[in-house]
Amino acid sequence: MKMRKISATIATLLAIPAVALAGWFGDERPPANAKPLSEIIKGVEAAGHKTIVELEFEDGVYEIEAIDAQGKEVKLKVDPVSGKVNVK
């Protein structure tokens, strides 16, 4: 009986991190009414950020690392529906 409780406790403790990590690897996608990625990139370039270093979609926005006109790396957040570019 004692061995069952120990086994159940160990199984529970091992399962908790697996459940927590499952959300980290979800495929988050832009909403159905989002602008095409090509338009998002054009908007970022029009805002003066000609070189894009990294782009990902996370937490409901495009997170973009780019180089500004002065050669400095900046982090941007872009709304996928409106295309509005915000410097973080």
Domain boundaries, the chain: 2-87
Q: Is 64 exposed, middle or buried (0-12, 13-18, 19+ CB in 10 A)?
A: buried
With H, G, I as helix, E, B as strand and everything else as coil, classify residue 63: strand
Give every CB contact of residue 40 below 8 A, 6+ residues apart in sequence: 62, 78, 80, 83
Q: Is 44 exposed, middle or buried (0-12, 13-18, 19+ CB in 10 A)?
A: buried
Q: What is the pLDDT of residues 17-47, one digit of tens each?
A: 554 544 555 578 999 999 999 999 999 999 9
State the pLDDT at residue 88: 82
CATH of domain 2-87: 3.10.450
* Average pLDDT of the chain to the nearest whole number: 82
